[in-house]
Structure 1
Amino acid sequence: MILLNGEIISKENASINIEDRGYQFGDGVYEVIRIYNGSFFELDGHFDRLKRSASEIHIELPFDRTTFHTKVNELRSVNHVENGHLYMQVSRGVAPRNHPFPAKSEPVVVGYTTEYATNETPAPGRAMFTEDIRWLRCDIKSLNLLGNVLAKEESKKQGYDEAIFHRGETVTEGSSTNVFIVKDQTLYTHPANHYILDGITRRAILDVAKDAGIPIKENPFTKTQLLESDEVFISSTTQEVRPIIEVSGNTIGTGRMGDVTAILQKAFKKRIPNSEQ
Protein backbone atom coordinates (compact mmCIF):
# COMPACT_ATOMS: atom_id res chain seq x y z
CA MET A 1 0.00 0.00 0.00
CA ILE A 2 1.10 3.55 -0.72
CA LEU A 3 0.01 7.06 0.14
CA LEU A 4 -1.21 9.14 -2.80
CA ASN A 5 -2.72 12.58 -2.20
CA GLY A 6 -4.04 11.75 1.23
CA GLU A 7 -5.44 8.33 0.35
CA ILE A 8 -3.86 4.98 1.15
CA ILE A 9 -4.32 2.74 -1.87
CA SER A 10 -2.73 -0.32 -3.43
CA LYS A 11 0.36 0.29 -5.52
CA GLU A 12 -1.32 -1.40 -8.47
CA ASN A 13 -4.12 1.19 -8.49
CA ALA A 14 -1.77 4.19 -8.33
CA SER A 15 -0.68 6.33 -11.26
CA ILE A 16 1.18 9.59 -11.77
CA ASN A 17 0.34 12.01 -14.57
CA ILE A 18 3.15 12.41 -17.15
CA GLU A 19 2.80 16.19 -16.78
CA ASP A 20 3.59 16.09 -13.07
CA ARG A 21 6.26 18.76 -12.58
CA GLY A 22 8.18 16.48 -10.24
CA TYR A 23 8.68 14.11 -13.16
CA GLN A 24 9.44 16.76 -15.79
CA PHE A 25 11.38 19.36 -13.79
CA GLY A 26 12.33 17.74 -10.50
CA ASP A 27 10.02 20.45 -9.13
CA GLY A 28 9.43 19.14 -5.64
CA VAL A 29 10.88 18.07 -2.31
CA TYR A 30 11.16 14.85 -0.34
CA GLU A 31 12.05 13.21 2.97
CA VAL A 32 13.30 9.77 4.02
CA ILE A 33 12.22 8.89 7.56
CA ARG A 34 13.61 5.94 9.49
CA ILE A 35 11.31 3.48 11.26
CA TYR A 36 12.63 1.69 14.32
CA ASN A 37 10.68 -0.88 16.31
CA GLY A 38 7.38 0.33 14.90
CA SER A 39 8.05 4.04 15.53
CA PHE A 40 9.29 6.89 13.37
CA PHE A 41 12.60 8.53 14.26
CA GLU A 42 12.50 12.33 14.75
CA LEU A 43 9.19 12.61 12.87
CA ASP A 44 8.64 16.27 13.81
CA GLY A 45 12.13 17.17 12.65
CA HIS A 46 11.42 15.60 9.28
CA PHE A 47 8.09 17.40 8.98
CA ASP A 48 9.71 20.73 9.81
CA ARG A 49 12.43 20.20 7.22
CA LEU A 50 9.93 19.09 4.57
CA LYS A 51 7.85 22.19 5.23
CA ARG A 52 10.91 24.44 5.07
CA SER A 53 12.16 22.86 1.83
CA ALA A 54 8.72 23.25 0.26
CA SER A 55 8.49 26.86 1.39
CA GLU A 56 11.89 27.65 -0.10
CA ILE A 57 10.64 26.64 -3.55
CA HIS A 58 7.21 28.23 -2.98
CA ILE A 59 5.13 25.10 -2.46
CA GLU A 60 2.55 25.06 0.32
CA LEU A 61 2.18 21.62 1.85
CA PRO A 62 -1.38 20.29 1.43
CA PHE A 63 -1.38 18.90 4.97
CA ASP A 64 -0.61 20.11 8.48
CA ARG A 65 1.54 18.43 11.13
CA THR A 66 -1.35 16.48 12.66
CA THR A 67 -2.50 15.09 9.32
CA PHE A 68 1.10 14.23 8.42
CA HIS A 69 1.49 12.26 11.65
CA THR A 70 -1.83 10.49 11.14
CA LYS A 71 -1.23 9.48 7.54
CA VAL A 72 2.35 8.26 7.83
CA ASN A 73 1.51 6.21 10.92
CA GLU A 74 -1.51 4.76 9.14
CA LEU A 75 0.68 3.82 6.17
CA ARG A 76 3.32 2.22 8.39
CA SER A 77 0.66 0.29 10.24
CA VAL A 78 -1.21 -1.01 7.18
CA ASN A 79 2.12 -2.19 5.71
CA HIS A 80 3.15 -3.76 9.04
CA VAL A 81 6.60 -2.17 8.91
CA GLU A 82 8.50 -2.50 12.16
CA ASN A 83 11.96 -1.56 10.84
CA GLY A 84 12.62 0.29 7.61
CA HIS A 85 11.92 3.73 6.22
CA LEU A 86 9.24 5.91 4.71
CA TYR A 87 9.89 7.86 1.51
CA MET A 88 7.64 10.86 0.91
CA GLN A 89 7.74 13.45 -1.85
CA VAL A 90 5.68 16.49 -2.69
CA SER A 91 5.73 17.91 -6.22
CA ARG A 92 4.26 21.20 -7.38
CA GLY A 93 1.60 19.25 -9.24
CA VAL A 94 0.29 18.62 -12.72
CA ALA A 95 0.29 21.31 -15.42
CA PRO A 96 1.17 21.72 -19.11
CA ARG A 97 4.95 21.73 -19.42
CA ASN A 98 6.24 25.28 -19.05
CA HIS A 99 9.11 26.59 -16.94
CA PRO A 100 7.21 29.28 -14.95
CA PHE A 101 5.01 28.11 -12.11
CA PRO A 102 1.49 27.22 -13.31
CA ALA A 103 -1.31 29.59 -12.36
CA LYS A 104 -3.20 26.64 -10.91
CA SER A 105 -1.88 23.32 -9.70
CA GLU A 106 -2.40 21.11 -6.67
CA PRO A 107 0.66 19.53 -5.03
CA VAL A 108 0.99 15.80 -5.59
CA VAL A 109 1.96 13.78 -2.51
CA VAL A 110 3.43 10.28 -2.77
CA GLY A 111 4.61 8.12 0.11
CA TYR A 112 5.69 4.51 0.45
CA THR A 113 7.50 2.30 2.95
CA THR A 114 10.49 -0.01 2.65
CA GLU A 115 11.12 -2.73 5.23
CA TYR A 116 14.55 -3.69 6.57
CA ALA A 117 15.46 -7.19 7.69
CA THR A 118 17.74 -5.83 10.43
CA ASN A 119 18.86 -2.55 11.96
CA GLU A 120 22.57 -3.32 11.77
CA THR A 121 24.91 -0.36 11.33
CA PRO A 122 26.96 -0.61 8.11
CA ALA A 123 30.56 -1.75 8.43
CA PRO A 124 33.39 0.82 8.22
CA GLY A 125 33.56 2.20 4.71
CA ARG A 126 35.85 3.81 2.15
CA ALA A 127 35.20 7.08 0.32
CA MET A 128 36.63 9.20 -2.48
CA PHE A 129 36.84 12.94 -3.02
CA THR A 130 34.87 14.52 -5.85
CA GLU A 131 34.40 18.16 -6.84
CA ASP A 132 31.05 19.57 -5.70
CA ILE A 133 29.46 20.96 -8.87
CA ARG A 134 25.88 21.01 -7.59
CA TRP A 135 23.69 24.08 -7.31
CA LEU A 136 24.07 26.45 -4.37
CA ARG A 137 20.90 25.52 -2.47
CA CYS A 138 21.89 22.16 -1.09
CA ASP A 139 19.97 23.06 2.08
CA ILE A 140 16.75 22.36 0.16
CA LYS A 141 15.94 18.65 0.04
CA SER A 142 14.74 18.85 -3.54
CA LEU A 143 14.12 16.15 -6.14
CA ASN A 144 17.07 17.46 -8.17
CA LEU A 145 19.64 14.80 -7.29
CA LEU A 146 21.48 14.17 -10.55
CA GLY A 147 24.76 15.59 -9.21
CA ASN A 148 24.50 13.33 -6.19
CA VAL A 149 23.60 10.31 -8.31
CA LEU A 150 26.54 10.82 -10.69
CA ALA A 151 28.97 11.16 -7.78
CA LYS A 152 27.60 8.07 -6.04
CA GLU A 153 27.79 6.05 -9.26
CA GLU A 154 31.40 7.10 -9.85
CA SER A 155 32.37 6.14 -6.32
CA LYS A 156 30.71 2.75 -6.80
CA LYS A 157 32.58 2.20 -10.07
CA GLN A 158 35.87 2.91 -8.31
CA GLY A 159 35.09 0.53 -5.47
CA TYR A 160 34.18 3.12 -2.82
CA ASP A 161 31.14 3.35 -0.57
CA GLU A 162 30.65 7.13 -0.74
CA ALA A 163 31.74 10.26 -2.58
CA ILE A 164 32.82 13.18 -0.40
CA PHE A 165 32.13 16.52 -2.07
CA HIS A 166 34.48 19.49 -1.90
CA ARG A 167 34.26 23.02 -3.31
CA GLY A 168 37.85 23.88 -4.07
CA GLU A 169 39.68 22.68 -0.97
CA THR A 170 36.67 22.90 1.35
CA VAL A 171 34.83 19.68 2.18
CA THR A 172 31.04 20.06 2.18
CA GLU A 173 29.17 16.75 2.54
CA GLY A 174 28.77 13.30 1.02
CA SER A 175 26.64 12.39 -1.99
CA SER A 176 23.94 11.13 0.40
CA THR A 177 25.47 11.82 3.81
CA ASN A 178 26.88 14.46 6.13
CA VAL A 179 30.62 14.30 6.87
CA PHE A 180 32.37 14.63 10.25
CA ILE A 181 36.01 14.55 11.25
CA VAL A 182 37.63 14.20 14.66
CA LYS A 183 40.95 15.83 15.54
CA ASP A 184 42.40 15.81 19.04
CA GLN A 185 39.08 14.59 20.48
CA THR A 186 37.19 17.55 18.91
CA LEU A 187 34.33 16.98 16.47
CA TYR A 188 34.21 19.06 13.28
CA THR A 189 31.48 19.32 10.66
CA HIS A 190 30.52 21.84 7.99
CA PRO A 191 28.06 24.47 9.24
CA ALA A 192 24.42 24.07 8.22
CA ASN A 193 24.26 26.64 5.45
CA HIS A 194 23.30 26.53 1.76
CA TYR A 195 26.27 24.28 0.88
CA ILE A 196 24.90 21.23 2.74
CA LEU A 197 21.70 19.56 3.79
CA ASP A 198 21.20 19.81 7.53
CA GLY A 199 20.63 16.12 8.14
CA ILE A 200 18.24 14.94 10.83
CA THR A 201 20.83 12.35 11.86
CA ARG A 202 23.47 15.10 11.78
CA ARG A 203 21.43 17.08 14.30
CA ALA A 204 21.01 14.03 16.54
CA ILE A 205 24.75 13.40 16.48
CA LEU A 206 25.49 16.96 17.53
CA ASP A 207 23.01 16.58 20.38
CA VAL A 208 24.54 13.36 21.69
CA ALA A 209 28.05 14.79 21.28
CA LYS A 210 27.07 17.73 23.49
CA ASP A 211 25.60 15.35 26.05
CA ALA A 212 28.83 13.33 26.00
CA GLY A 213 30.94 16.44 26.57
CA ILE A 214 32.67 16.19 23.19
CA PRO A 215 33.85 19.61 21.91
CA ILE A 216 32.11 20.58 18.66
CA LYS A 217 33.17 23.01 15.95
CA GLU A 218 30.74 23.64 13.11
CA ASN A 219 33.45 25.08 10.88
CA PRO A 220 34.45 24.37 7.28
CA PHE A 221 37.50 22.13 6.95
CA THR A 222 39.73 21.25 4.02
CA LYS A 223 40.57 18.04 2.21
CA THR A 224 44.02 18.13 3.82
CA GLN A 225 42.52 18.55 7.28
CA LEU A 226 40.24 15.59 6.63
CA LEU A 227 43.14 13.39 5.52
CA GLU A 228 45.18 14.43 8.56
CA SER A 229 42.31 13.91 11.01
CA ASP A 230 42.20 11.15 13.61
CA GLU A 231 38.76 9.92 12.61
CA VAL A 232 36.23 10.41 9.81
CA PHE A 233 32.62 9.28 9.76
CA ILE A 234 29.51 9.94 7.73
CA SER A 235 25.89 10.07 8.81
CA SER A 236 22.48 9.64 7.23
CA THR A 237 19.00 8.32 7.94
CA THR A 238 19.83 4.91 6.50
CA GLN A 239 23.51 4.60 7.54
CA GLU A 240 23.30 6.26 10.97
CA VAL A 241 26.93 6.77 12.15
CA ARG A 242 29.35 5.04 9.77
CA PRO A 243 33.13 5.27 10.18
CA ILE A 244 35.22 5.98 7.09
CA ILE A 245 38.67 4.42 7.29
CA GLU A 246 40.04 5.39 3.87
CA VAL A 247 39.56 8.38 1.56
CA SER A 248 40.90 8.39 -2.00
CA GLY A 249 43.48 5.76 -1.12
CA ASN A 250 44.60 7.45 2.11
CA THR A 251 44.19 5.63 5.42
CA ILE A 252 42.43 7.68 8.08
CA GLY A 253 43.96 7.52 11.55
CA THR A 254 44.65 3.95 12.60
CA GLY A 255 42.55 2.49 9.79
CA ARG A 256 39.90 1.42 12.31
CA MET A 257 36.85 3.04 13.90
CA GLY A 258 38.05 5.69 16.35
CA ASP A 259 37.07 6.14 19.98
CA VAL A 260 34.94 9.26 19.46
CA THR A 261 33.07 7.66 16.56
CA ALA A 262 32.41 4.59 18.72
CA ILE A 263 31.05 6.78 21.54
CA LEU A 264 28.75 8.63 19.16
CA GLN A 265 27.61 5.46 17.44
CA LYS A 266 26.62 3.94 20.77
CA ALA A 267 24.98 7.15 22.02
CA PHE A 268 22.99 7.48 18.80
CA LYS A 269 21.68 3.93 19.17
CA LYS A 270 20.29 4.88 22.56
CA ARG A 271 18.12 7.55 20.90
CA ILE A 272 16.36 4.94 18.77
CA PRO A 273 12.70 4.53 19.78
CA ASN A 274 12.11 1.53 22.04
CA SER A 275 15.82 0.74 21.92
CA GLU A 276 17.27 -1.92 24.19
CA GLN A 277 20.79 -0.44 23.86
Structure 2
Amino acid sequence: MTRFAYVNGCFQPHADAMIHIEDRGFQFADAIYEVWSVRDGELMDADGHFARLERSLRELRISNPKTEAGYRLVIAELLRRNRVRDGLVYLQISRGRARRDHAFPAATTRPTVVMTAKRLDHAAAQRRADAGVAVISLPDLRWGRRDIKTVNLLPNVLAKQAAAEAGAAEAWLVDASGQVTEGASTNAWIVTADGVLVTRQADHDILHGITRARIMRRAQAMGYTVEERSFSIEEAQTAREAFMTSATSFVTPIVRIDDRPVGNGAPGSVAVELRSAYLELI
Protein backbone atom coordinates (compact mmCIF):
# COMPACT_ATOMS: atom_id res chain seq x y z
CA MET A 1 0.00 0.00 0.00
CA THR A 2 1.28 3.46 -0.92
CA ARG A 3 1.91 5.73 2.06
CA PHE A 4 1.01 9.41 1.81
CA ALA A 5 2.48 12.56 3.31
CA TYR A 6 1.17 16.11 3.38
CA VAL A 7 3.54 18.88 2.28
CA ASN A 8 2.52 22.53 1.96
CA GLY A 9 -1.08 21.93 0.99
CA CYS A 10 -0.66 18.78 -1.10
CA PHE A 11 -0.97 15.08 -0.37
CA GLN A 12 1.95 13.24 -1.98
CA PRO A 13 3.27 9.69 -2.07
CA HIS A 14 5.49 9.38 0.99
CA ALA A 15 8.51 8.31 -1.08
CA ASP A 16 8.25 11.42 -3.28
CA ALA A 17 7.57 14.05 -0.61
CA MET A 18 10.25 16.77 -0.50
CA ILE A 19 11.08 20.22 0.86
CA HIS A 20 13.52 22.79 -0.55
CA ILE A 21 17.21 22.52 0.39
CA GLU A 22 17.06 26.05 1.83
CA ASP A 23 14.20 25.30 4.17
CA ARG A 24 15.15 26.72 7.58
CA GLY A 25 14.05 23.60 9.36
CA PHE A 26 16.65 21.63 7.40
CA GLN A 27 19.44 24.20 7.67
CA PHE A 28 18.93 25.68 11.15
CA ALA A 29 16.48 23.38 12.98
CA ASP A 30 14.32 26.52 12.89
CA ALA A 31 11.13 24.52 13.28
CA ILE A 32 8.76 22.96 15.77
CA TYR A 33 6.93 19.66 15.74
CA GLU A 34 4.00 17.94 17.43
CA VAL A 35 2.95 14.31 17.74
CA TRP A 36 -0.47 12.84 18.37
CA SER A 37 -1.09 9.21 19.22
CA VAL A 38 -4.03 7.70 17.37
CA ARG A 39 -6.16 5.01 18.94
CA ASP A 40 -9.15 3.51 17.14
CA GLY A 41 -8.97 6.37 14.63
CA GLU A 42 -9.11 9.14 17.25
CA LEU A 43 -6.42 11.62 18.31
CA MET A 44 -5.45 11.15 21.95
CA ASP A 45 -5.29 14.26 24.18
CA ALA A 46 -5.89 16.31 21.04
CA ASP A 47 -6.68 19.63 22.73
CA GLY A 48 -3.50 19.61 24.79
CA HIS A 49 -1.32 18.91 21.77
CA PHE A 50 -2.95 21.68 19.72
CA ALA A 51 -2.43 24.13 22.59
CA ARG A 52 1.25 23.14 22.88
CA LEU A 53 1.63 23.50 19.10
CA GLU A 54 0.35 27.06 19.30
CA ARG A 55 2.67 27.83 22.23
CA SER A 56 5.77 26.44 20.48
CA LEU A 57 5.06 28.52 17.37
CA ARG A 58 4.51 31.63 19.47
CA GLU A 59 7.75 31.15 21.42
CA LEU A 60 9.74 30.93 18.15
CA ARG A 61 7.71 33.74 16.54
CA ILE A 62 6.56 31.55 13.65
CA SER A 63 3.10 32.44 12.38
CA ASN A 64 0.61 29.61 12.59
CA PRO A 65 -0.28 28.70 8.98
CA LYS A 66 -3.54 26.90 9.84
CA THR A 67 -6.44 26.93 12.25
CA GLU A 68 -7.04 23.94 14.50
CA ALA A 69 -10.00 23.02 12.31
CA GLY A 70 -7.70 23.10 9.27
CA TYR A 71 -5.20 20.79 10.92
CA ARG A 72 -7.94 18.40 11.96
CA LEU A 73 -9.25 18.17 8.39
CA VAL A 74 -5.80 17.38 7.02
CA ILE A 75 -5.10 14.85 9.78
CA ALA A 76 -8.40 13.07 9.17
CA GLU A 77 -7.63 12.76 5.45
CA LEU A 78 -4.04 11.69 6.14
CA LEU A 79 -5.26 8.94 8.45
CA ARG A 80 -7.81 7.83 5.86
CA ARG A 81 -5.28 7.70 3.02
CA ASN A 82 -2.79 5.77 5.13
CA ARG A 83 -5.46 3.52 6.68
CA VAL A 84 -4.19 4.26 10.16
CA ARG A 85 -6.47 3.33 13.05
CA ASP A 86 -3.78 2.86 15.68
CA GLY A 87 -0.56 4.81 15.30
CA LEU A 88 0.69 8.37 15.34
CA VAL A 89 0.54 11.61 13.40
CA TYR A 90 3.69 13.74 13.08
CA LEU A 91 3.45 17.45 12.23
CA GLN A 92 6.43 19.73 11.56
CA ILE A 93 6.31 23.45 10.86
CA SER A 94 9.43 25.43 9.93
CA ARG A 95 9.89 29.15 9.40
CA GLY A 96 9.96 28.34 5.71
CA ARG A 97 12.18 28.50 2.66
CA ALA A 98 14.57 31.44 2.46
CA ARG A 99 18.09 32.35 1.42
CA ARG A 100 20.48 31.04 4.07
CA ASP A 101 21.00 33.71 6.71
CA HIS A 102 20.85 33.31 10.48
CA ALA A 103 18.49 36.24 11.01
CA PHE A 104 14.79 35.77 10.34
CA PRO A 105 13.74 36.10 6.68
CA ALA A 106 11.06 38.51 5.50
CA ALA A 107 7.79 38.38 7.39
CA THR A 108 6.08 37.30 4.16
CA THR A 109 8.01 34.00 4.13
CA ARG A 110 5.52 31.15 4.22
CA PRO A 111 6.04 28.48 6.89
CA THR A 112 6.65 24.94 5.66
CA VAL A 113 4.08 22.40 6.84
CA VAL A 114 4.77 18.66 6.74
CA MET A 115 2.59 15.87 8.12
CA THR A 116 2.99 12.10 8.14
CA ALA A 117 1.08 9.24 9.72
CA LYS A 118 2.13 5.70 10.51
CA ARG A 119 0.81 2.65 12.28
CA LEU A 120 2.10 1.58 15.68
CA ASP A 121 1.92 -1.83 17.30
CA HIS A 122 0.15 -1.05 20.56
CA ALA A 123 0.29 -4.74 21.50
CA ALA A 124 4.09 -4.64 21.38
CA ALA A 125 4.07 -1.48 23.50
CA GLN A 126 1.85 -3.24 26.02
CA ARG A 127 4.26 -6.16 26.18
CA ARG A 128 7.12 -3.74 26.94
CA ALA A 129 5.05 -2.15 29.68
CA ASP A 130 4.16 -5.55 31.12
CA ALA A 131 7.84 -6.47 31.34
CA GLY A 132 9.16 -3.04 32.30
CA VAL A 133 12.12 -1.31 30.68
CA ALA A 134 15.63 -0.18 31.59
CA VAL A 135 17.05 3.34 31.43
CA ILE A 136 20.55 4.77 31.64
CA SER A 137 21.60 8.20 32.91
CA LEU A 138 23.56 10.75 30.88
CA PRO A 139 24.50 14.43 31.24
CA ASP A 140 21.87 16.78 29.85
CA LEU A 141 23.58 18.65 26.99
CA ARG A 142 20.52 20.34 25.49
CA TRP A 143 19.81 24.05 25.10
CA GLY A 144 18.03 26.06 27.79
CA ARG A 145 14.50 26.14 26.30
CA ARG A 146 13.49 22.50 26.39
CA ASP A 147 9.89 23.56 26.99
CA ILE A 148 9.63 24.48 23.28
CA LYS A 149 9.04 21.43 21.10
CA THR A 150 11.66 22.21 18.47
CA VAL A 151 13.24 19.80 15.99
CA ASN A 152 16.68 20.58 17.46
CA LEU A 153 17.01 17.02 18.81
CA LEU A 154 20.64 16.04 18.20
CA PRO A 155 21.46 15.61 21.93
CA ASN A 156 18.31 13.51 22.26
CA VAL A 157 19.36 11.38 19.29
CA LEU A 158 22.79 10.76 20.78
CA ALA A 159 21.25 9.88 24.14
CA LYS A 160 18.79 7.46 22.52
CA GLN A 161 21.62 5.80 20.63
CA ALA A 162 23.66 5.43 23.81
CA ALA A 163 20.63 3.84 25.48
CA ALA A 164 20.13 1.44 22.58
CA GLU A 165 23.80 0.43 22.66
CA ALA A 166 23.45 -0.25 26.40
CA GLY A 167 20.37 -2.41 25.85
CA ALA A 168 18.08 0.18 27.45
CA ALA A 169 14.84 1.74 26.24
CA GLU A 170 15.52 5.30 27.34
CA ALA A 171 18.14 7.71 28.71
CA TRP A 172 17.36 9.91 31.70
CA LEU A 173 19.16 13.24 31.37
CA VAL A 174 20.87 14.76 34.40
CA ASP A 175 21.56 18.49 34.85
CA ALA A 176 24.69 20.13 36.26
CA SER A 177 23.36 19.91 39.82
CA GLY A 178 22.87 16.15 39.57
CA GLN A 179 19.10 16.24 39.16
CA VAL A 180 17.09 14.36 36.53
CA THR A 181 15.37 16.62 34.02
CA GLU A 182 13.55 14.12 31.78
CA GLY A 183 14.13 11.32 29.31
CA ALA A 184 15.39 11.82 25.78
CA SER A 185 11.80 11.46 24.51
CA THR A 186 9.75 10.97 27.69
CA ASN A 187 8.98 12.58 31.03
CA ALA A 188 10.49 10.95 34.13
CA TRP A 189 8.61 9.89 37.29
CA ILE A 190 9.30 8.09 40.54
CA VAL A 191 7.10 6.81 43.35
CA THR A 192 8.50 7.34 46.84
CA ALA A 193 8.36 4.82 49.67
CA ASP A 194 5.32 6.74 50.98
CA GLY A 195 3.50 6.38 47.65
CA VAL A 196 3.99 9.99 46.53
CA LEU A 197 4.38 10.52 42.77
CA VAL A 198 7.27 12.83 41.87
CA THR A 199 8.05 14.44 38.51
CA ARG A 200 10.19 17.45 37.58
CA GLN A 201 8.42 20.81 37.70
CA ALA A 202 7.24 22.16 34.34
CA ASP A 203 9.67 25.00 33.66
CA HIS A 204 12.18 25.72 30.88
CA ASP A 205 14.18 22.57 31.72
CA ILE A 206 11.63 20.02 30.47
CA LEU A 207 9.09 19.57 27.74
CA HIS A 208 5.63 20.18 29.12
CA GLY A 209 4.36 16.71 28.29
CA ILE A 210 0.66 16.51 27.47
CA THR A 211 0.50 12.92 28.68
CA ARG A 212 2.44 13.98 31.79
CA ALA A 213 -0.21 16.59 32.61
CA ARG A 214 -3.07 14.17 31.99
CA ILE A 215 -1.46 11.50 34.19
CA MET A 216 -0.93 14.07 36.92
CA ARG A 217 -4.60 15.05 36.92
CA ARG A 218 -5.74 11.44 36.73
CA ALA A 219 -3.46 10.36 39.59
CA GLN A 220 -4.72 13.18 41.82
CA ALA A 221 -8.32 12.23 41.02
CA MET A 222 -7.47 8.66 42.08
CA GLY A 223 -6.23 9.93 45.45
CA TYR A 224 -2.48 10.02 44.85
CA THR A 225 -0.30 12.91 46.00
CA VAL A 226 1.82 14.39 43.21
CA GLU A 227 4.90 16.52 43.85
CA GLU A 228 6.49 18.58 41.09
CA ARG A 229 10.16 18.71 42.07
CA SER A 230 13.53 17.47 40.93
CA PHE A 231 15.10 14.20 42.06
CA SER A 232 18.50 12.57 41.63
CA ILE A 233 19.42 9.29 39.98
CA GLU A 234 20.26 7.95 43.44
CA GLU A 235 16.78 8.80 44.73
CA ALA A 236 15.25 7.15 41.67
CA GLN A 237 17.30 3.99 42.12
CA THR A 238 16.09 3.63 45.71
CA ALA A 239 12.50 4.64 44.97
CA ARG A 240 9.57 2.29 45.29
CA GLU A 241 8.85 2.62 41.57
CA ALA A 242 9.89 4.55 38.50
CA PHE A 243 8.12 5.08 35.19
CA MET A 244 8.09 7.28 32.10
CA THR A 245 5.27 8.94 30.18
CA SER A 246 4.83 10.19 26.63
CA ALA A 247 2.25 10.36 23.86
CA THR A 248 3.47 7.06 22.40
CA SER A 249 4.61 5.14 25.49
CA PHE A 250 1.64 6.27 27.66
CA VAL A 251 2.80 5.05 31.10
CA THR A 252 5.69 2.57 30.95
CA PRO A 253 7.22 1.08 34.13
CA ILE A 254 11.00 1.32 34.59
CA VAL A 255 12.56 -1.66 36.35
CA ARG A 256 16.27 -0.83 36.07
CA ILE A 257 18.35 2.37 36.16
CA ASP A 258 22.04 2.16 35.30
CA ASP A 259 22.15 -1.60 35.99
CA ARG A 260 20.49 -1.21 39.39
CA PRO A 261 16.98 -2.64 39.88
CA VAL A 262 14.18 -0.31 40.95
CA GLY A 263 12.10 -1.76 43.77
CA ASN A 264 11.90 -5.50 43.29
CA GLY A 265 12.97 -5.24 39.65
CA ALA A 266 9.43 -5.72 38.32
CA PRO A 267 6.79 -3.22 37.10
CA GLY A 268 5.29 -1.42 40.08
CA SER A 269 1.62 -1.51 40.96
CA VAL A 270 1.18 2.27 40.78
CA ALA A 271 2.56 2.53 37.24
CA VAL A 272 0.47 -0.43 36.12
CA GLU A 273 -2.66 1.11 37.64
CA LEU A 274 -1.99 4.51 36.09
CA ARG A 275 -1.39 3.01 32.65
CA SER A 276 -4.68 1.13 32.83
CA ALA A 277 -6.53 4.21 34.12
CA TYR A 278 -5.09 6.42 31.37
CA LEU A 279 -6.08 4.02 28.60
CA GLU A 280 -9.58 3.67 30.06
CA LEU A 281 -9.88 7.45 30.30
CA ILE A 282 -8.81 7.97 26.71
**TM more than 0.5:** yes
> Residue by residue, what CA displacement relative to the aligned partner does 1:45-66 show, whole Å, maximum 9, x if unpaired?
1111111111101101100111
Q: Give yes or no for contact 2:82–2:118 (8 Å, CA) kept in 1.
A: no
Identity of aligned residues (%): 38
Post-superposition shift, 1:202? 0.7
Aligned equivalent of 1:270, options 263, 266, 280: 280
Report the equivalent of 1:179. Answer: 188
Aligned CA distance change for structure 1 residues 271 and 59 (closer, same or farther; 3 Å): same
In 1, the alpha carbon distance for the partners of 2:101 and 2:30 equals 12
> Residue by residue, what CA displacement relative to the aligned partner does 1:71-92 show, whole Å, maximum 9, x if unpaired?
1112112222100000110000
Report the equivalent of 2:112. Answer: 108
Q: Which amino acid aligns with 1:181?
A: I
In 2, the alpha carbon distance for the partners of 1:155 and 1:68 equals 34
The SS at the match of 1:221 is coil
Report the equivalent of 1:275. Answer: none
Post-superposition shift, 1:260? 1.1
In 2, the alpha carbon distance for the partners of 1:118 and 1:160 equals 19
Q: Which amino acid aligns with 1:164?
A: W
Does residue 150 in structure 1 map to residue 158 in structure 2?
A: yes
Does residue 170 in structure 1 map to residue 174 in structure 2?
A: no
Does residue 80 in structure 1 map to residue 90 in structure 2?
A: no
The SS at the match of 1:102 is coil
Does residue 56 in structure 1 map to residue 64 in structure 2?
A: no
Q: Which amino acid aligns with 2:94?
A: S
Post-superposition shift, 1:256? 0.9
In 1, the alpha carbon distance for the partners of 2:237 and 2:13 equals 49
Aligned equivalent of 2:95, options 92, 95, 112: 92
Of Structure 1 and Structure 2, the greater helix share is in 2
In 2, the alpha carbon distance for the partners of 1:14 and 1:131 equals 36
In 2, the alpha carbon distance for the partners of 1:254 and 1:11 equals 45
* Correspondence 1:19-30 to 2 at 5 A: 19-30=22-33
Gaps of 5+ in 2: none
Stretch moving more, 73-82 or 83-92? 73-82
Alignment RMSD (CA, Å): 1.2
Does residue 7 in structure 1 map to residue 10 in structure 2?
A: yes
Aligned equivalent of 2:268, options 219, 238, 258: 258
Report the equivalent of 2:249. Answer: 239
Aligned residues: 272
Post-superposition shift, 1:13? 4.5
Aligned CA distance change for structure 1 residues 12 and 248 (closer, same or farther; 3 Å): closer
Report the equivalent of 2:143. Answer: 135
In 1, the alpha carbon distance for the partners of 2:77 and 2:213 equals 27
Q: Give yes or no for contact 2:244–2:252 (8 Å, CA) kept in 1.
A: yes
Post-superposition shift, 1:215? 0.6
The SS at the match of 2:92 is strand
Post-superposition shift, 1:271? 2.1
Post-superposition shift, 1:12? 4.5
Stretch moving more, 93-102 or 154-163? 154-163
Report the equivalent of 1:65. Answer: 68
In 1, the alpha carbon distance for the partners of 2:104 and 2:197 equals 42
Q: Which amino acid aligns with 2:208?
A: D
In 1, the alpha carbon distance for the partners of 2:256 and 2:99 equals 48
TM-score (norm 2): 0.93
Q: Give yes or no for contact 2:159–2:184 (8 Å, CA) kept in 1.
A: yes
Gaps of 5+ in 1: 273-277
Post-superposition shift, 1:7? 2.6
Post-superposition shift, 1:228? 1.6
In 2, the alpha carbon distance for the partners of 1:14 and 1:179 equals 35
In 2, the alpha carbon distance for the partners of 1:37 and 1:201 equals 18
TM-score (norm 1): 0.95
Stretch moving more, 41-50 or 90-99? 41-50
Report the equivalent of 2:215. Answer: 205
> Residue by residue, what CA displacement relative to the aligned partner does 1:117-171 show, whole Å, maximum 9, x if unpaired?
4444223100111011110100000010001001111111122111000113111
